[in-house]
């Protein structure tokens, strides 16, 4: 079945540094990918929609200059957390769907980001 | 915007009993409703879904009901097992090749052996 690969699975960084998270669709082309953030004991909240070849669409309250999204190909989207702060520590999950009406949504394994 | 309310937030059942989780969604344009199981630190796993042209769907030990009139969803897990212990999310989306999914608030299910 369709697989979405996300790397790294865990990352610890110092406050003020930047971290890049990759999301790859391994056996299908994804014109659209989604980035979610999940704080402990909370639900998944959509951060932004990543569109291949165009600018990402950010949800209200998500800083686009802080969470940089690049979707340069049909199989790769990246999320860069710039100038990370401890409050950015969270579980980040990408997802990708197909392009047809009945395509299911596939999730990456998630990235646990800890900012110290 | 879209909003999905889910309850209860926590649920404890004895092994073998049924568990029922309910959701209310707000977007009348939504036509696809997946349910996910998420174990700690892992990605959500699809357990069952239902489309708006149906009002009931059954899987192995799971049944989902959809009432579009009042925008209600429910998930029943029958004959619960300890392995069913996890957080469950309902979700809504409009399936048109652009699958932005809005998740419910989640229900932590504990199955007591």
Mark yes or no for CB contact A43/B89 under 8 Å.
yes
Give pLDDT, residue A102: 59
As a whole number of angstroms, the distance between CA B83 and CA A27 comes to 30
Mark yes or no for CB contact B101/A34 under 8 Å.
yes
More confident residue, B1 or B65: B65
pLDDT band per the 50, 70, 90 thresholds, residue A99: low
> What confidence tens digit (pLDDT) does each residue in B5-50 have?
999 999 999 999 999 999 999 988 888 899 999 999 999 999 999 9
Tell me: pLDDT of A101 over 60. Answer: no
Percent of chain B scoring above 90 in pLDDT: 82
Give pLDDT, residue B93: 87
Give pLDDT, residue B101: 87
Mark yes or no for CB contact B103/A43 under 8 Å.
yes
Half-sphere exposure of A71 (CA within 13 A, CB side): 23
Judge whether A26 is closer than 8 Å to chain B, CB to CB: no
pLDDT band per the 50, 70, 90 thresholds, residue A2: low
Least confident range from A80-89, B30-39, B75-84: namely: B30-39
Give pLDDT, residue B9: 97
Indicate the pairing of strand A19-25 with strand A76-81.
Answer: antiparallel
Give pLDDT, residue A98: 60
> What confidence tens digit (pLDDT) does each residue in A12-38 have?
999 999 999 999 988 888 888 999 999
By the 10 Å C-beta count (0-12 exposed, 13-18 middle, 19+ buried), A22 is classed as: middle
**Looking at residues B50-54, what average pLDDT do you find?**
93
Size of interface A-B (CB pairs under 8 A): 58
Give pLDDT, residue A32: 86
Nearest Cα residue to A22 out of A82, A83, A70: A70
Give pLDDT, residue A113: 97
Which member of B34, B95, B106 has the closest CB to residue A43? B106
Indicate the pairing of strand A10-13 with strand A111-115.
Answer: parallel
């Amino acid at each position: 079945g369709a697989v979405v690969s996300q790397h790294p699975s865990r990352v610890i960084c110092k406050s003020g540094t930047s971290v890049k998270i990759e999301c790859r669709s391994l056996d299908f082309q994804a014109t659209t990918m989604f980035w979610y953030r999940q704080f402990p004991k909370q639900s998944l909240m959509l951060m932004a929609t990543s569109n291949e070849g165009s600018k990402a669409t950010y949800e209200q309250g998500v800083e686009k200059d802080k969470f940089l999204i690049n979707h340069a190909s049909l199989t790769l989207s990246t999320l860069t957390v710039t100038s990370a702060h401890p409050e950015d520590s969270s579980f980040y999950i990408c997802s990708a769907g197909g392009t047809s009406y009945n395509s299911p949504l596939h999730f990456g394994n998630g990235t646990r980001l800890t900012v110290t | 915007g879209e909003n999905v309310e889910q309850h209860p937030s926590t649920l404890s059942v004895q092994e073998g009993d049924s568990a029922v989780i309910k959701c209310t969604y707000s977007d009348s344009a939504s036509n696809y409703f997946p349910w996910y199981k998420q174990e700690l630190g892992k990605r959500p796993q699809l357990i069952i879904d239902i489309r708006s042209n149906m009002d009931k769907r059954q899987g192995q030990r799971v049944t989902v009901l959809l009432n579009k009139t009042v925008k209600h969803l429910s998930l029943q897990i029958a004959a619960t097992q300890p392995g069913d212990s996890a957080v469950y999310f309902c979700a809504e989306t409009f399936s048109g090749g652009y699958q932005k999914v809005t998740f419910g608030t989640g229900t932590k299910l504990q199955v007591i052996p």
